């Protein structure tokens, strides 16, 4: 079987809670996604990554799973899920699901059983008499107490970590994976996969964030687990995996994805998500395009195959962050799209990115729903940060920025009821309905770009050759069997003189440029050029 059948994939991420509500409860659901499959097909993508729809008490919006083989009733039934898979398949779209196996919900039956000291499930989790000094991703101790013992949770206390030293856990998860693959799922996005194996529970070196990480970050034991999952399960299906790998460098990324390692197929790196921060994501600095360009170039050059993304459900909107969501909203959204879809690797588009949705417009703390946002706000209060600063932190960085309901029409179009999370008021002008009608819309640009990419061997398989990476300009070449496409982007709001003279046929331009004789690049201009042979 050709292991690299996924290389021509373009993935669209759907965050079910915020996509489309079909039954008027203000919560997006699976029948809602089915209603919108023609829209997704029309966009031109061929894979959907579906964020968790499993049974869950929703402490972390589904990333706390209480049953891996049933569907959260808020989202529908297993029949709905089967229908979604079928209806997607009918449209030539495959579905990958989230595989969240670092932790379960504390309401999972394994964890409930595990609270009894002599239960066979005790060792499914990590129990100790005393906590160590590790801190959680959501701040505070990574340990909580039940019945006199402490259990480890790298995320919220309702997300206890599984014990991957226990072979039973391996068996159970393999069953889960087979269950979904047998239903026709095309693979998994593996949540925080490089932290699942804890090689020791000793106290860690004291750090500002994630004390203890040296004992669970990209450990050899994790590679062993991934090889086993691949050999025992994944290799028996036409499937692919993308790992979500926090804190990895390019070497660690390759160690997870090089074909001979037989582990994952690609990973989401985070280095480019760190270019506008000091120390950690809550302390944002002014965005410097050159930094982003530098990191992207490094990953392009060094990593075997990239999972390219600028946005997802955990990050503020790329448009509000790396582009200009006001004056040059349309131009910069198209430029970022061009960048993301012409790099080498598999591109991921996050719902709403294709119409240029912006960060949320929350006005007060209680409008935010995300657990992490509230935990960080509370910590900042404890540390006596002034209120205006706390609000600024979450306004810039909260994950809810990307989780606001999909803007289908000027009136919202997500639900007939009050949505679970505030819809951005700019739906009046930023929405799917208007985007479809306007031939110059971001949406129509995406469609064109996606179809260009899907028909181009050069963009799918060509090599990456950097040409110019200074002054906020990013120019690179993709080369395949003596043919080349040049991708030119101005990541700044200033007009710039073109540093290299190019000729060739323009195949896409976000300013309707007709030729290359004008040597001035407009604000956020991007151009795709077919080099003359
Ligand atoms: O995210 C893991 C992760 O490290 C971060 O991106 C996370 O969003 C957090 O902000 C760290 O500061 C994955 C999921 O994508 C996320 O939604 C979950 O909350 C998390 O794992 C736990 O399952
Ligand atoms: Ca609903």
Q: Can you give the length of the chain in residues?
A: 533
If you take atom 6 of ligand 1, which residue's CA is the nearest one?
A: 314
Burial-class residue 138 by CB neighbours within 10 Å (0-12, 13-18, 19+).
Answer: buried
1 has pLDDT over 80: no
Give 503 Cα–ligand 1 centroid separation in angstroms: 44
Give 518 Cα–ligand 1 centroid separation in angstroms: 45
What pLDDT is recorded for position 405? 98
Within 207-315, residue ranges assigned H as helices are 220-232, 250-257, 289-302
Dihedrals φ, ψ of 507, to 5°?
-105, -20
β-bridge mates for residue 196, sequence order: none
Cβ proximity of 35 and 14 under 8 Å:
no
Above pLDDT 90, what percent of the chain? Answer: 97
What pLDDT is recorded for position 6? 86
Q: What mean pLDDT comes out for the span 478-490?
A: 96
| Distance of alpha carbon 192 from the chain centroid | 11
Give 434 Cα–ligand 1 centroid separation in angstroms: 33
Q: Provide the token pair at 318.
A: 């790329």
Per-residue pLDDT reduced to its tens digit, 346-369? 999 999 999 999 999 999 999 999
208 has pLDDT over 90: no
Cβ proximity of 253 and 245 under 8 Å:
yes
17 has pLDDT over 90: yes
Q: Strand ranges (DSSP E) for 327-421?
A: 346-350
Crossing angle between the packed helical segments 371-382 and 387-397, to the nearest 10 degrees: 150
pLDDT band at 3 (very low <50, low <70, confident <90, very high): low
If you take atom 2 of ligand 1, which residue's CA is the nearest one?
A: 192
Q: Give the CA diameter of the chain.
A: 77
Cβ proximity of 15 and 418 under 8 Å:
no
Decide: helix, strand or coil at residue 271: helix
Within 183-286, residue ranges assigned H as helices are 220-232, 250-257
110 has pLDDT over 90: yes
Residue identified by tokens 């921060």 is 277
3-class SS shares of the chain: helix, strand, coil, % to 5: 35, 20, 45
Nearest atom in ligand 1 to the alpha carbon of residue 60 is 19
Nearest 10 degrees: Cα torsion 233, 235, 239, 245: 70
Dihedrals φ, ψ of 305, to 5°?
-150, 120
What pLDDT is recorded for position 2? 62
Q: What mean pLDDT comes out for the span 171-193?
A: 98
CB environment 243-260: b (16+ within 10 A), e (fewer): bbbbbbebeebbbbbeee
Nearest atom in ligand 1 to the alpha carbon of residue 280 is 12
pLDDT band at 467 (very low <50, low <70, confident <90, very high): very high
Cβ proximity of 54 and 65 under 8 Å:
yes
What pLDDT is recorded for position 4? 79
533 has pLDDT over 70: no
Q: What mean pLDDT comes out for the span 415-419?
A: 98
Q: Provide the token pair at 72.
A: 């959260």
Which mutation among 49, 102, 191 tests ligand 1's pocket best, with the greatest number of atoms within 8 A of CB?
191
pLDDT band at 265 (very low <50, low <70, confident <90, very high): very high
Per-residue pLDDT reduced to its tens digit, 31-44? 999 999 999 999 99
410 has pLDDT over 80: yes
Per-residue pLDDT reduced to its tens digit, 322-341? 999 999 999 999 999 999 99
| Distance of alpha carbon 415 from the chain centroid | 24
Q: DSSP code of 467? A: E
Decide: helix, strand or coil at residue 222: helix
β-bridge mates for residue 54, sequence order: 71
C-alpha 384/C-alpha 121 separation (Å) is: 42
Catalytic residues: 191, 244
Decide: helix, strand or coil at residue 488: strand
C-alpha 360/C-alpha 350 separation (Å) is: 15
Ligand 1 pocket, Cβ-based, cut-off 6 angstroms? 60, 63, 100, 137, 155, 191-192, 244, 246, 313-314, 372, 399
If you take atom 20 of ligand 1, which residue's CA is the nearest one?
A: 63
pLDDT band at 5 (very low <50, low <70, confident <90, very high): confident
Give 28 Cα–ligand 2 centroid separation in angstroms: 5
Beta pairing class for 280-284 and 277-278: antiparallel
Per-residue pLDDT reduced to its tens digit, 49-71? 999 999 999 999 999 999 999 99
Per-residue pLDDT reduced to its tens digit, 423-432? 999 999 999 9
If you take atom 5 of ligand 1, which residue's CA is the nearest one?
A: 314
Average pLDDT, the chain: 97
Of 305, 280, 308, the closest CA to residue 296 belongs to 308
94 has pLDDT over 70: yes
Burial-class residue 118 by CB neighbours within 10 Å (0-12, 13-18, 19+).
Answer: exposed
Give 280 Cα–ligand 1 centroid separation in angstroms: 14
Q: Provide the token pair at 253.
A: 């990324």
Sheet holding 463-468, edge to edge: 463-468, 473-480, 483-490, 526-530, 505-509
């Amino acid at each position: 079987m050709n292991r690299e059948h996924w290389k021509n994939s373009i993935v669209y991420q759907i965050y079910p809670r915020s996509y489309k509500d079909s039954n008027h409860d203000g919560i997006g659901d699976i029948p809602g996604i089915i209603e919108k499959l023609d829209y997704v097909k029309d966009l031109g993508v061929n894979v959907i990554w579906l964020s968790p729809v499993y049974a869950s008490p929703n402490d972390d919006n589904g990333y706390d799973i209480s049953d891996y083989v049933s569907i959260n009733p808020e989202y529908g039934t297993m029949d709905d899920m089967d229908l979604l898979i079928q209806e997607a398949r009918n449209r030539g779209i495959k579905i990958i699901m989230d595989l969240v196996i670092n932790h379960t919900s504390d309401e999972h039956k394994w964890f409930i059983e595990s609270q009894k000291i002599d239960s066979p499930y005790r060792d499914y989790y990590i129990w100790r008499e005393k906590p160590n000094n590790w801190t959680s991703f959501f701040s505070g101790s990574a340990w909580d107490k039940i019945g006199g013992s402490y259990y480890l949770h790298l995320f919220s206390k309702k997300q206890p970590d599984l014990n991957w030293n226990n072979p039973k856990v391996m068996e159970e998860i393999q069953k889960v994976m087979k269950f979904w693959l047998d239903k026709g799922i095309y693979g998994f996005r593996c949540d925080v996969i490089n932290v699942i194996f804890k090689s020791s529970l000793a106290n860690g070196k004291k750090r500002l964030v994630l004390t203890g990480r040296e004992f669970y970050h990209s450990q050899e034991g994790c590679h062993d687990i991934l090889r086993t999952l691949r050999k025992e399960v994944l290799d028996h299906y036409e499937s692919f995996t993308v790992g979500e790998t926090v804190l990895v460098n390019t070497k660690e990324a390759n160690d997870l994805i090089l074909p001979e390692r037989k582990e994952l197929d690609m990973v989401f790196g985070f280095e480019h998500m760190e270019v506008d921060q000091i120390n950690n994501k809550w302390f944002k600095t002014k965005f410097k395009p050159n930094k982003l360009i530098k990191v992207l170039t490094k990953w392009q050059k060094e990593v075997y195959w990239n999972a390219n993304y600028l946005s997802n459900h955990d990050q503020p909107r790329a448009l509000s962050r790396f582009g200009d969501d006001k004056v040059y909203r349309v131009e910069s959204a198209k430029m970022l799209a061009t960048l993301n879809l012409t790099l080498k690797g598999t591109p991921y588009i996050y719902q709403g990115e294709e119409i240029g949705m912006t960060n949320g417009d929350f006005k007060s703390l209680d409008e935010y729903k995300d657990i992490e946002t509230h935990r960080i706000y509370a910590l900042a209060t404890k540390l006596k940060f002034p209120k205006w600063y706390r609000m600024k932190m979450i306004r810039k960085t909260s994950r809810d920025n990307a989780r606001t309901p999909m803007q289908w029409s000027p009136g919202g179009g997500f639900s007939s009821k009050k949505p679970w999370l505030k819809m951005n008021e700019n739906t009046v002008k930023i929405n799917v309905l208007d985007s479809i009608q306007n031939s110059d819309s971001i949406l129509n640009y995406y469609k064109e770009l996606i179809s260009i990419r899907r028909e181009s061997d050069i963009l799918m398989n060509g090599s990456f050759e950097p040409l110019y990476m200074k002054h906020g300009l990013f120019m690179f070449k993709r080369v395949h069997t003596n043919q080349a496409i040049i991708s030119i982007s101005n990541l700044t709001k200033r007009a710039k003189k073109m540093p290299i003279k190019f000729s060739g046929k323009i195949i896409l331009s976000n300013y309707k440029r007709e030729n290359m004789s004008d040597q001035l690049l407009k604000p956020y201009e991007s151009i795709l050029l077919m080099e003359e042979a």
